């Protein structure tokens, strides 16, 4: 137990040591958009679901999400990237501001901001729509402004860090943000940075950068090896040769043809290690023939096969089978992608010039190798793909910060995997906060989870700032909440569904009297906030004494401001302030006959007379006469509202 505690302390010390570490992130920034919908029927025109949009979330993606994670983990992140002068670009700027990232992006009006839009029903991704063409090259002026921004941001970080050289993270997803002049500048300016991390779809484009660490996916690593000199791909003079089959390098696994190097003919190595086996021998004849050359043909040639679900390799590195590749179905069984990656770490380091290579295997973890030649394997818990969006950005951010803090490689690899794994519990773009990582280490729970629900304005400001740095959406609403009823509960549940954190501001007793009259509130503020704090949908409750929550709104800058009512958002008095601060305004409608005023009226209607009838005190069946009928002039009475919520000002 003592050893485990010492290990936790050692890891936590590294996390503490990277606080404020200056990091410049450069690359392809994009916007992740998540649209959550309900689907209960198919449309008449086609066998397609009819979707009703319920919630929309925007998050930073790509290089922007890496910067958000560096800030959330405690680093000082600056992002330089081209961003379009469009709505998506505006939303991306808002995401960066909320996360505390220094936004030094360059505006490219004629070039759209890349967006990945995902439509989900029942939390299952139905489709993804990508916009932003990688072929839209930066203009010459755009490249010049990007170079200037990179130079200025480097010096800005260095000055803020007291002369310390910053760390550099390059995120090249092949979307055109890093053309040749930018790559040349980064290679020439390599000495201006201490630690340099590279995440690139095509690692061959970065020859000469000499990064500290590269974090290719398995597909990106095999793509690089496929370009290696024939005969160099295998160990010990193996004839293994990889050819990229031309699949889109920007997304998903790559298909490879595996077989003898060009011009090499003849035998397959014997899986048992006893020497070569003629390709026309019994072993070859017993193997499936799909995708194989005729017996005796010059060397084995693998072709993509749809049936293979994994990549495997014999221990000696001579044969490979898997997704899109096959050589011999009788060898390599039981050996997964990690073994293949481990056997090629040395070559990957040589090809990239990196001190450290971390091959990420999505839900299977990662394989990491450094100068000592010892491969290190980390593992991850399998999750749905919709939970792992951006997990690679988390891994990159944590690995970079750990190495920049001069942590030993095993520690850096452990922290990076732990950070990535701790973020994949739900649908959305992954962000790991420093407190989340410390909690995952087995220490105390994050501060935000042990704080009481009822907080003061100053403490609430610090809490909201923490969540904003983690990229979470803050929802704010306010009201008297005098007599809590089902309409309130439903309203607050729907408000909580609009974001990640729900803050409820409650009018003080004096404020309620000014708004509602001298006979209100029925319940004192202590009782009202106690009931609200007991609701699972409410994260924090704060009391304010003013008639308007404008002061709290200005201090907290909520992402979404929610009011109850049947009027449009532009009629909400606080709407101009919320929008000026970059937030959205949402209104939720009535649930008929579900209001505090109606409940109080019913209580008063059934108030016992001063001289009670003795018969009324005798036990008997309880009766509840109906309440007063709604007036025809009451707009709530004429509206059908099975899917609507509560009064305009929760009372």
List the catalytic residues: 393
Q: Report which of 268, 248, 246, 272 is spatially closest to residue 259, judged by C-alpha positions.
A: 268
CA 161 to chain centre: 28
Given a contact cutoff of 8 angstroms between Cβ atoms, the answer to whether 471 and 92 are in contact is no
Phi, psi for residue 373 in degrees, rounded to 5:
75, 5
- Annotate 193-234 with three-state secondary structure: CCCEEEEECCHHHHCCCCCCEECCEHHHHHHHHHCCCCCCCC
Q: What would you report as the CA-atom Rg of the chain, rounded to the nearest whole angstrom? A: 30
Given a contact cutoff of 8 angstroms between Cβ atoms, the answer to whether 318 and 240 are in contact is yes
Q: Look at the alpha carbons of 213, 423, 441, 72 in this order and tell me if their dihedral is positive or negative.
A: positive
Given a contact cutoff of 8 angstroms between Cβ atoms, the answer to whether 423 and 398 are in contact is no
- The region, left, alpha or beta by phi > 0 then psi within -120 to 50, assigned to residue 92 is alpha
C-alpha to C-alpha distance for 546 and 588, rounded to whole angstroms: 23
C-alpha to C-alpha distance for 246 and 412, rounded to whole angstroms: 34
Q: Report which of 71, 66, 108 is spatially closest to residue 88, judged by C-alpha positions.
A: 108
C-alpha to C-alpha distance for 281 and 359, rounded to whole angstroms: 36
C-alpha to C-alpha distance for 381 and 364, rounded to whole angstroms: 7
Query: What are the structure tokens assigned to 309, written together?
Result: 């679900």
C-alpha to C-alpha distance for 479 and 649, rounded to whole angstroms: 6
The DSSP H or E segment spanning 592 is none
Given a contact cutoff of 8 angstroms between Cβ atoms, the answer to whether 542 and 455 are in contact is yes
- How many helices (H) does the chain have, and how many strands (E)? 21, 26
In the chain, helix, strand, coil percent, each to 5? 35, 20, 45
- The region, left, alpha or beta by phi > 0 then psi within -120 to 50, assigned to residue 374 is beta
C-alpha to C-alpha distance for 64 and 304, rounded to whole angstroms: 35
Given a contact cutoff of 8 angstroms between Cβ atoms, the answer to whether 432 and 419 are in contact is yes
Query: What are the structure tokens assigned to 18, written together?
Result: 């990277």
């Amino acid at each position: 137990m003592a050893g485990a505690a010492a290990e936790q302390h050692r890891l936590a010390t590294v996390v503490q040591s990277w606080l404020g570490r200056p990091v410049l992130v450069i690359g392809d920034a994009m916007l992740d958009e998540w649209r959550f919908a309900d689907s209960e029927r198919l449309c008449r025109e086609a066998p397609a679901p009819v979707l009703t949009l319920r919630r929309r979330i925007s998050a930073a993606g790509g290089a922007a999400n890496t910067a958000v994670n560096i800030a959330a983990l405690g680093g000082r992140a600056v992002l330089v990237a081209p961003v379009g002068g469009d709505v998506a670009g505006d939303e991306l700027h808002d995401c960066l501001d909320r996360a505390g990232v220094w936004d030094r992006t360059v505006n490219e009006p004629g070039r759209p901001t890349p967006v990945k839009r995902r439509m989900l029903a029942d939390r299952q991704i139905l489709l993804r729509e990508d916009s932003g063409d990688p072929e839209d090259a930066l203009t010459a002026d755009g490249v010049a402004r990007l170079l200037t921004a990179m130079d200025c941001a480097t010096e800005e970080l260095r000055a803020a860090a007291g002369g310390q050289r910053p760390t550099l993270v390059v995120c090249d997803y092949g979307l055109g943000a890093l053309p040749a002049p930018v790559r040349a500048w980064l290679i020439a300016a390599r000495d201006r940075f201490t630690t340099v991390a590279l995440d690139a779809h095509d690692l061959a484009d970065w020859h000469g950068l000499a990064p500290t660490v590269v974090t290719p996916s398995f597909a990106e690593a095999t793509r690089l090896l496929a370009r290696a000199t024939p005969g160099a791909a295998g160990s010990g003079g193996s004839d293994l040769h990889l050819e990229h089959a031309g699949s889109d390098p920007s997304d998903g696994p790559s298909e490879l043809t595996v077989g003898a190097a060009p011009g090499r003919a003849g035998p397959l190595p014997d899986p048992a290690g006893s020497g070569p086996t003629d390709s026309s021998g019994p072993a070859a004849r017993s193997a499936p023939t799909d995708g194989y050359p005729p017996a005796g043909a010059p060397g084995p040639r693998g072709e993509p096969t749809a049936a293979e679900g994994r990549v495997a390799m014999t221990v000696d590195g001579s044969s490979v089978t898997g997704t899109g590749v096959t050589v011999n179905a009788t060898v390599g069984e039981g050996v997964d992608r990690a073994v293949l990656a481990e056997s090629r770490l040395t070559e990957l380091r040589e090809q990239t010039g990196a001190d450290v290579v971390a091959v990420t295997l999505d839900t299977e973890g990662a394989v990491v190798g450094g100068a000592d030649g010892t491969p290190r394997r980390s593992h991850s818990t399998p999750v749905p793909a919709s939970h792992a969006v951006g997990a690679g950005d988390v891994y990159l951010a944590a690995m970079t910060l750990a190495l920049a803090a001069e942590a030993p490689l095993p520690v850096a690899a452990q922290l990076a995997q732990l950070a990535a794994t701790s973020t994949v519990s739900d649908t959305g773009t992954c962000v790991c906060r420093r407190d989340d990582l410390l909690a995952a280490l087995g220490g105390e729970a994050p501060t935000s989870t042990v704080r009481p629900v009822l907080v003061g304005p100053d403490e609430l400001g610090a809490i909201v700032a923490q969540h904003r740095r983690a990229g979470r959406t803050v929802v704010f609403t306010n009201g008297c909440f005098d007599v809590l009823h089902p309409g309130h509960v439903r309203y607050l549940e729907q408000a909580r569904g609009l974001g990640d954190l729900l803050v409820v501001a409650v009018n003080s007793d004096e404020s309620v009297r000014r708004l509602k009259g001298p006979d209100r509130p029925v319940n004192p503020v202590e009782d009202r906030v106690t009931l609200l704090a007991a609701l699972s949908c409410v994260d924090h409750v704060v009391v304010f004494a003013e008639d308007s929550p404008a002061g709290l709104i200005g201090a907290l800058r909520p992402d979404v401001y929610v009011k109850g009512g049947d009027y449009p958002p532009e009629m909400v008095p606080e709407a101009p302030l919320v929008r000026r601060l970059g937030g959205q305004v949402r209104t939720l409608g009535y649930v008929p006959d579900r209001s505090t005023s109606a409940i109080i009226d019913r209580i008063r209607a059934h108030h016992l007379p001063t001289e009670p009838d003795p018969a009324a005190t005798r036990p008997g069946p309880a009766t509840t006469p109906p309440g007063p009928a709604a007036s025809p002039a009451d707009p709530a009475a004429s509206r059908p509202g099975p899917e609507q919520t509560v009064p305009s000002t929760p009372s």
